[in-house]
Every structure is written in structure tokens, then in C-alpha cells.
């Protein structure tokens, strides 16, 4: 018996209650009697027919044990398609880079210079600052240990070799990925969302040649230069700390210069260029793969930075193995 | 219906991953304004993307002036793609370039003209759409209607034979939208382009269309084909009647068009 005589207005929860009561009554084989002076129940039942609704309060939501497997599968598919897209992009970029000499007019040198300025010159202050602080910290930490053996002067060797070979390129690449890799992805992604990429294609221009190559080239060329600046700033930081700890700057420089072989410098520069190439490739690839949704550009930028960092680290490891094998 | 077909669509199965339209065939004749219409989500825009070569259709063939866009050598495809211009719903102008540079871009990429000639040509195209005075403006600084017109100028840069317009009047007020309709007719009459347009704006359909096809989501194909006045006066089925009359009433009641994507 449902007494709804005094119900004036019925909201969504009330309607659900009426529906549920009717269903339970029906499932247990008796009909629910209603006192329904204002017709609220009748109107509800008229609007929502009981048999059309399947979810019920009586049966709890089934716990899905497949969820983990499903997510795992989805993630794998996602990773696999991501890898396929990256490979496809790499192939397309290579093809359009190789076909450039035949169609020199299509390449936008002006764009490349613009990105060179944005990714390089504009990044100089932060690169110098981080490099300087890195040298400072490195000098300070190693000096305390080296002092126990009375060989503080060798801090200069450590800083010079460490920065040129390893930390300079690495830290600069991380900065480039954060500053420019994300920017590449966001710029190209926004163009994709605005249908500008489609417009390029229908104008007969390849988005990869037109948008990606100038950026990739700029990133590759700018990295060795930025990396060198960061190393020099780091050495400056080292000099200052060691001067404060009693090692004369001249001695520091002599040690640093003697420790720096041409091999070290070249190895670092090559590494920097490869890191730059990776940042450019990954940034542009994620930009071009942006989904047309509000969160698409954000996701593309995030994926560009994360992807670049992973690849940089992997490449760094490969370089270490390579250096070991070649004895550089 | 004079002239030879410039676009031949034969048994096209349209869709991106899953088919939206099963078997679509129609022809567009030279020099006509052809409108593809239908409710939201029926596959109009997807069909347009097949026509302009962005997405390969799931089946069937599309020929533009005899050249196939898909399944043909790259050279044939590129040649076909250079013979039409496209404007997109949002205008899709390149935000980092001025209007003049936007129009110049295709000229720069595909002609060996000297810079002065390119600039003059681009300026003439902008004049064609009434935007000569705004040549040095950036897309962000002009109104929606002007963006659409600038996009038409860019699409016209290489003197295409076909112009594809994706919802040109979306998001425009009735007066601007009517101006755009006049521009489309003027381009057809003076430049001799064939216009293919996707829209569901009833006022523009009646103003510009020579012929239209109507697509339907549940029928998964074409449910009507013919001049718009004929479809309005003698609708072949209930869906067509509902489309033409409901929108007609709405336009009459509110005094303005309603545009929804």
C-alpha cells in the first residue's frame, strides 16, 4: 500500500522510489495498491514505464573482475598504436627530409630560423642559470669528499668531464623538452584542432615538411650550442665555489682544460644533437597526433615531454654503452 | 543541368572506422552550386572529408574531373588536389600569418611567380571577397564572417575549378550569412567555379543551391536529391518534409536562422 495522497510534487528520487516499489511488488507477484489523490504516481508510471528500466536497487552493481585485464589490454593497445604512429611519423619525416633537395622551395627556412630563436636564444637565460647552479652544486658536493684525501684540485677534472660528457647535454635536453618540445606539440596540436592541418593538406602541402621539419632541424642544431653554454656556465659555478674553498681560479682552469679532451667535447656535442633531434621528433609527432578534443592539446604537450624524457634517457644509456665499446 | 560532371561519387561507403553511410552515389555538374545537407551526425562532414581527399572512404570510388583521389599514383592525387579549394568550418586560417600571407602561401608553394606578382595576385583574391583593406590583419583580429571570406580567398588562390565549403554560415548572423551566399553566387558566375557546400542552413540552401542531396542517419544514405524548391514543395518522404518545414517555421518564428553543428 502506497499512500501518496499528500504528495504535491515529486522529484527524481521520488519517481525512482515509485518505480522501484512497483517493480519489487511485481517481482514478488502482487500488485501495489496506491492512494494517489493527486495523480503523482500515475503520472510517473505513465512517463517511465517500469519494464523499460533494468537497473534496480535490489541487485547490487556487479563487481567486474575483468576491469584489470581490460585496462591492461587497453594500455597495451594504446602503447602499441603509439609506437606505430611514432614509427610512421619517423618514416614520413625521413622521407620528406630526403626529398627536400628536390623541392627546396617547400622548406620554410624562415620558420626554421624563428624556431631556432625561440628554442635557442630565448632559452639561454634558463640554460645558463641551471648550468651555473649545477656546477656550483657539483663542485660543493665533490669538494667535501675530495678534501678528505686532500685532492680538491681534481674537482675541476670531475666537473669538466662530467659536464661536457654527461650532465651538460642531459640537463639542456631536459630543459629543451620542457620548454620547446611541449611548445612544438601544443602549437601543432592547436593547428590540428583548428583544422589548419587539414587546410594545409588540401592546399597540397605536407604538414611534416611544412611544420615538423623546421622545428626538428632547429631543435637539432640548437642543442649543441645550448649545451656548450650550459657547460661553460657550470664551469664558472665550479670556479666560484673552489675559489671560495681555497683553490685559485687559475689552477682550476688548468686542471679543467687538461682534463677536457677533444673526444669528450665531441662526444658531448653529438649527444646533444641527438637529444635535440629526439625532442623535435617526439614533440612534432605528438602535435600531429593530437585528438580533436578540448583536452587534446594538453595531452599532446604532456606526452611530448614525457616521451622526450624517456627517449633521452634511453639514448643516454645507449651512448654510454657505445662509448664503452668504442673506448671513447 | 548542363555541363559534364566534375565530381563523380560511385557507391561510396563513408565513415572513419565504422561506416556511417552505406552506398552513396551522385554527380556534380560543372558550374552548379551543390549542397549536401542532413541532420547532425549523419555523415555530411565525413563525406566531405572523403571528397577532399583527407580520409579514404571505406569503399567505392570518387573522381574529381576524372582523377581518382584514392588508390591512384601520388602524382595524380596531387594534381587532383590542387584543382580544388576548401574552406573549413572554423576558417582554419594560419594564425601566425597575416591575411595576405595566408592567401600567398599556396601561390608561394606551387608557382614560380616572383614575390611582387604573388602579392598582387593575393591582394586581388582578397579584393574578390571584399577584404583588400584588411590584408595586413591577423586572423585573430577580424570577425568570424571576415575569417570565412578570407578562407574563401585562400581557397581561390590557385584558381580552383571546384570550391568545397564546410558549413560556411555556421556561427554567422543572418545578414553576414546572406552576404556570404551572395559571394558564393558571385564566385560561381564570375570565376566559373563549381561549388560543393555542406550546410543545414535552410535560408542559404534556398538562396544558393541549384541542387542538393539529403543524407539521413537511419537510412544510412541519400534520401532525397533535387533542387531545393522541389524538395520543399514536393517532399518525397516524411524526413525531408520535417527538415524543410520545421526549419522553415523556426526561421519564420524567430526571425533569424538557428545554426547548430
pLDDT in tens for each of the 328 residues of chain A?
Answer: 788 888 888 888 888 888 888 888 877 888 778 888 888 888 888 888 777 776 666 666 666 667 888 889 989 998 898 888 888 888 988 888 888 776 655 677 888 888 888 888 899 999 999 999 999 999 999 998 998 998 888 899 999 999 999 999 999 999 999 999 999 999 999 888 888 888 888 887 888 888 899 999 999 999 999 999 999 999 999 999 999 988 899 999 998 999 888 888 999 999 999 999 999 999 999 999 888 877 889 999 999 999 999 999 999 999 999 999 988 7
Confidence class for position B253, pLDDT limits 50, 70, 90 = very low
Residue-level pLDDT at B122: 86
Residue-level pLDDT at A42: 83
CB B200 within 8 A of CB B38: yes
| Topology annotation, domain B1-83+161-253 | Rossmann fold (3.40.50)
Residue-level pLDDT at B15: 82
Residue with cell 582578397: B126
pLDDT higher than threshold 90 for residue B88: no
Residue with cell 644533437: A273
Residue-level pLDDT at A237: 93
The answer to whether the CB atoms of A204 and B110 lie below 8 A apart is yes
Residue-level pLDDT at A111: 83
CB B65 within 8 A of CB B108: no
pLDDT tens per residue across span B179-214: 888 888 888 888 888 889 888 788 888 888 888 888
The answer to whether the CB atoms of B94 and A201 lie below 8 A apart is no
Q: How far apart are CA B107 and CA B113, in angstroms?
A: 8
Residue-level pLDDT at A57: 67
The answer to whether the CB atoms of B54 and A194 lie below 8 A apart is no
The answer to whether the CB atoms of A196 and B53 lie below 8 A apart is no
Residue with cell 634517457: A313
Q: How far apart are CA B213 and CA B193, in angstroms?
A: 19
Q: How far apart are CA A236 and CA A300, in angstroms?
A: 37
Nearest Cβ partner for B94 among A105, A196, A198? A196
In the structure, how many helices (H) and strands (E) does chain A have? 14, 2
Residue-level pLDDT at B3: 57
The overall average pLDDT reported for chain B is 80
pTM score of the predicted model? 0.75
Residue-level pLDDT at B238: 79
pLDDT higher than threshold 60 for residue B250: no
Q: How far apart are CA B218 and CA A293, in angstroms?
A: 26
The answer to whether the CB atoms of A194 and B53 lie below 8 A apart is no
Interface test with B, best of A199, A201, A210, A288 (most B CBs within 10 A): A199
Question: Exposed, middle or buried, A76 (CB in 10 Å: 0-12/13-18/19+)?
Answer: exposed
Nearest Cβ partner for B88 among A105, A199, A204? A199
Q: Is B176 on the interface with A (CB under 8 A)?
A: no
Interface test with B, best of A117, A190, A202 (most B CBs within 10 A): A202
Residue B216 Ramachandran class (φ > 0 left, ψ -120 to 50 alpha, else beta): beta
DSSP, residue by residue, A137-151: HHHHHHHHHHHHTT-
Q: Where in chain B is the domain with CATH 3.40.50.300?
A: 1-83+161-253
Interface test with A, best of B87, B94, B113, B125 (most A CBs within 10 A): B94
pLDDT tens per residue across span B144-176: 888 888 888 888 888 888 889 888 887 788 888
Nearest Cβ partner for B88 among A106, A195, A204? A195
Q: Is B84 on the interface with A (CB under 8 A)?
A: yes
Query: What are the b/e assignments for B159-175, b being 16+ CB within 10 Å?
Result: ebbbbbbbbbbbbbebe
The answer to whether the CB atoms of A195 and B90 lie below 8 A apart is yes
Closest Cα partner for A115 from A171, A176, A60? A176
Amino acid at each position: 500500500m502506497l499512500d501518496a495522497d499528500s504528495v504535491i510534487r515529486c522529484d527524481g528520487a521520488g519517481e525512482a522510489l515509485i518505480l522501484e516499489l512497483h517493480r519489487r511488488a511485481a517481482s514478488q507477484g502482487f500488485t501495489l495498491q496506491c492512494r494517489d489523490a493527486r495523480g503523482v504516481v500515475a503520472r510517473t508510471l505513465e512517463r517511465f514505464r517500469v519494464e523499460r528500466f533494468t537497473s534496480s536497487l535490489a541487485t547490487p552493481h556487479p563487481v567486474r573482475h575483468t576491469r584489470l585485464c581490460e585496462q591492461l589490454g587497453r594500455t597495451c593497445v594504446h602503447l602499441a598504436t603509439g609506437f606505430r604512429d611514432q614509427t610512421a611519423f619517423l618514416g614520413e619525416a625521413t622521407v620528406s627530409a630526403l626529398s627536400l633537395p628536390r623541392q627546396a622551395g617547400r622548406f620554410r627556412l624562415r620558420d626554421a630560423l624563428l624556431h631556432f630563436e625561440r628554442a635557442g636564444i630565448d632559452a639561454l637565460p634558463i640554460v645558463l642559470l641551471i648550468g651555473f647552479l649545477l656546477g656550483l652544486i657539483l663542485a660543493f658536493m665533490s669538494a667535501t669528499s675530495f678534501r678528505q684525501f686532500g685532492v680538491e684540485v681534481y674537482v675541476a677534472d670531475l666537473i669538466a668531464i662530467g659536464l661536457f660528457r654527461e650532465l651538460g647535454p642531459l640537463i639542456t635536453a631536459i630543459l629543451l623538452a620542457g620548454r620547446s618540445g611541449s611548445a612544438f606539440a601544443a602549437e601543432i596540436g592547436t593547428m590540428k584542432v583548428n583544422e589548419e592541418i587539414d587546410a594545409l593538406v588540401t592546399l597540397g602541402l605536407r604538414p611534416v615538411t611544412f611544420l615538423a621539419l623546421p622545428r626538428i632541424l632547429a631543435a637539432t642544431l640548437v642543442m649543441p650550442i645550448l649545451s656548450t653554454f650550459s657547460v661553460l656556465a657550470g664551469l664558472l659555478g665550479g670556479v666560484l665555489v673552489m675559489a671560495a674553498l681555497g683553490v685559485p681560479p687559475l689552477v682550476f682552469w688548468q686542471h679543467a682544460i687538461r682534463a677536457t679532451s677533444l673526444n669528450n667535447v665531441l662526444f658531448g656535442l653529438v649527444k646533444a644533437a641527438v637529444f635535440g633531434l629526439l625532442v623535435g621528433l617526439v614533440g612534432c609527432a605528438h602535435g600531429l597526433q593530437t585528438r580533436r578534443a578540448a583536452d587534446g592539446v594538453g595531452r599532446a604537450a604532456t606526452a611530448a615531454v614525457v616521451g622526450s624524457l624517456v627517449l633521452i634517457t634511453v639514448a643516454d644509456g645507449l651512448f654510454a654503452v657505445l662509448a664503452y665499446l668504442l673506448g671513447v | 543541368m548542363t555541363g559534364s560532371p566534375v565530381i563523380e561519387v560511385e557507391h561510396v561507403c563513408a565513415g572513419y572506422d565504422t561506416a556511417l553511410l552505406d552506398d552513396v552515389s551522385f554527380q556534380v555538374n560543372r558550374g552548379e552550386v551543390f549542397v549536401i545537407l542532413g541532420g547532425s551526425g549523419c555523415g555530411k562532414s565525413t563525406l566531405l572529408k572523403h571528397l577532399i581527399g583527407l580520409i579514404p572512404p571505406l569503399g567505392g570510388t570518387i573522381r574529381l574531373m576524372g582523377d581518382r583521389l584514392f588508390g591512384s599514383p601520388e602524382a595524380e592525387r596531387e594534381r587532383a588536389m590542387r584543382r580544388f579549394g576548401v574552406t573549413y568550418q572554423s576558417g582554419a586560417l594560419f594564425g601566425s600569418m597575416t591575411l595576405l600571407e595566408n592567401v600567398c602561401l599556396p601561390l608561394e608553394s606551387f608557382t614560380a611567380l616572383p614575390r611582387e606578382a604573388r602579392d598582387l595576385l593575393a591582394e586581388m583574391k582578397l579584393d574578390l571577397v571584399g577584404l583588400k583593406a584588411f590584408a595586413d590583419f591577423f586572423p585573430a583580429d577580424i570577425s568570424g564572417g571576415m575569417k570565412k571570406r578570407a578562407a574563401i580567398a585562400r581557397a581561390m588562390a590557385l584558381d580552383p575549378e571546384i570550391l568545397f565549403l564546410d558549413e560556411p554560415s555556421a556561427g554567422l548572423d543572418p545578414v553576414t550569412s546572406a552576404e556570404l551566399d551572395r559571394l558564393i553566387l558571385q564566385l560561381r558566375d564570375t570565376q566559373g567555379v563549381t561549388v560543393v557546400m555542406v550546410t543545414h542552413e535552410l535560408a542559404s540552401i534556398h538562396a544558393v543551391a541549384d541542387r542538393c542531396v539529403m543524407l539521413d542517419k537511419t537510412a544510412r544514405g541519400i534520401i532525397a536529391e533535387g533542387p531545393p524548391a522541389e524538395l520543399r514543395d514536393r517532399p518525397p518522404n516524411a524526413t525531408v518534409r520535417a527538415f524543410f518545414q520545421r526549419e522553415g517555421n523556426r526561421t519564420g518564428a524567430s526571425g533569424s536562422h538557428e545554426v547548430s553543428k
